[in-house]
Amino acid sequence: MAWLPPLRGLPRAFWYLCLGTLVNRAGGFVVPFLALYLTEERELTAPQAGFVVSLYGVGSFASAPVGGFLADRIGRRFTIVAGTTLGAGAMLALGFSRAPSLIAASALGLGFLGDLPRPAVQAAIADLVAPADRARAYGFLYWAINLGFSIAPVIAGLAASRSFSALFIADAATTLVMAGIVLSRVPESLPSPAPPSESSAPTSFLDPYHDGVLVVFLVLNLMVALVFHQSFVALPIAMRADGISTQGYGLLIAINGVLIILLQPFALAAAERFRRSHFLAAGALLTGIGFGLTAVADGRLAYALSIAVWTLGEIAFSTVASAVVADLAPPSLRGSYQGAFHMSWGASAFLAPALGTAVLAAFGSGALWGGCAVIGLACAIGHLAVAGPRRRRVAALRSTAR
């Protein structure tokens, strides 16, 4: 049991945040089936459906800095409850809209409102949990997210075979359940502002991006995320070229979720024994190696091995990344810093498909997957190289807070 993380020492409000997130993610029925719904139920063409799904991504990308800003200015609890409540309305609007223009507007709104609470949740955890326990707390949250994601497609597949409308209603209902849990069980945790004479925290909307230590972390995160997001476009193309069907891709990529659910708890325990910079470096390196192995993969077993390796990288990185951002953030800007972190993931989701397919078409699979390995190695070295400045920044922030 020493290799499993202890459950004690984390506040009750944190566990309610995890519960709400689990329910919300387990009810995330619509997004995995959105393209299918748009083409079959609403009879949109494939390009029209692709445009609508892209609008959802645009909304999700734009919501990160706004959600963080609102969490810091108005409050974590308000931002979570408002975002989930309005997001449920956008979900229903998308499900019952008929005109393509309304469907497009609803998808954009759903992407924006659906992800609006994420920086607020992350900031609330930083408020509620002691710095020494943050990696464990964020790891538990990430585990709950992936457990919910693993449940959602199964339930959604069964429901979609009977009624697409039921998907939207159930998704909206679980979103409202999260709002109810936070409203009734999670107190507002926004720190009280320090007196102007004592406060050195920046106040501008853009100040997180003026923090050189944070920006370096975000750039390294963006590079690793560009590699990781090849799993959604370039990887299935590579598998298809090797004769693996769409169904085969689905079964193989499921290895990712299964390993996260099984191994994440062990990573949480290990995170308390090693430096966070070592976890970040290991995560970047394993991600690069895992995708690099795709260059020599030619069958299901080889692809399964490569997925297992980069999943270990994802586990290592996700265990500590949010905690590092929380440690770097002044208390008054925890939401904005988390928003910047999530925006770097959103940017990679936009850029990765275009970059990956362009490299694949122009230079071939060897260049793409070899490039992924090089990026992973470079980012691992980068995380180790900037570990000292990060630690000094965290120490300075904690000494100021005393």
Tell me the CA distances in angstroms from 183 to 13, 70, 79, one per residue in order. Answer: 11, 17, 11
Q: What are the backbone dihedrals phi and psi of residue 390, each rounded to the nearest 5 degrees, phi first? A: -65, -45
CATH code given to domain 8-188: 1.20.1250.20
User: Would you give the end-to-end CA distance of the chain in angstroms?
Assistant: 35
pLDDT at 40: 79
* CA distance linking residue 46 with residue 336, whole number of Å: 36
Contact between 84 and 117 (Cβ < 8 Å): yes
At 254, list the tokens.
């499921």
**Domain ranges in the chain?**
8-188, 205-402
Q: Which residues contact 26 (CB under 8 A, 6 or more apart)?
A: 147, 148, 151, 152, 155, 174
Rg (CA), the chain: 21
Q: pLDDT by residue for the chain (402 residues), tens digit each?
A: 555 566 778 999 999 999 999 999 888 777 767 877 888 788 888 788 878 888 888 898 899 999 999 999 999 999 999 999 999 999 999 999 999 999 999 999 999 999 999 999 999 999 999 998 998 999 999 999 988 888 876 776 666 667 778 889 989 999 999 999 999 999 999 997 755 544 444 456 788 999 999 999 999 999 999 999 998 778 988 888 889 887 788 788 888 988 999 998 888 888 778 889 999 999 999 999 999 999 999 899 999 999 999 999 999 999 899 999 999 999 999 999 999 999 998 888 878 888 888 898 899 999 999 999 999 999 999 999 999 999 999 888 877 765
* CA distance linking residue 282 with residue 377, whole number of Å: 9
* CA distance linking residue 2 with residue 339, whole number of Å: 34
User: Which residue, 304, 322, 294, is CA-closest to 230?
Assistant: 294
Contact between 304 and 258 (Cβ < 8 Å): no
* CA distance linking residue 70 with residue 259, whole number of Å: 35
User: Which residue, 299, 309, 7, is CA-closest to 144?
Assistant: 7
pLDDT at 102: 94
* CATH class belonging to 205-402: mainly alpha
Q: What number of other Cβ atoms are within 10 A of residue 70's Cβ? A: 24
Q: What are the backbone dihedrals phi and psi of residue 252, each rounded to the nearest 5 degrees, phi first? A: -70, -45
* CA distance linking residue 98 with residue 105, whole number of Å: 12
* Residue indicated by tokens 């290592």: 316
pLDDT at 338: 96
Q: What letter would DSSP give residue 202?
A: -
pTM of the predicted model as reported, rounded to 2 decimal places: 0.89
pLDDT at 257: 86
Number of helices followed by number of strands (H, E) in the chain = 16, 0
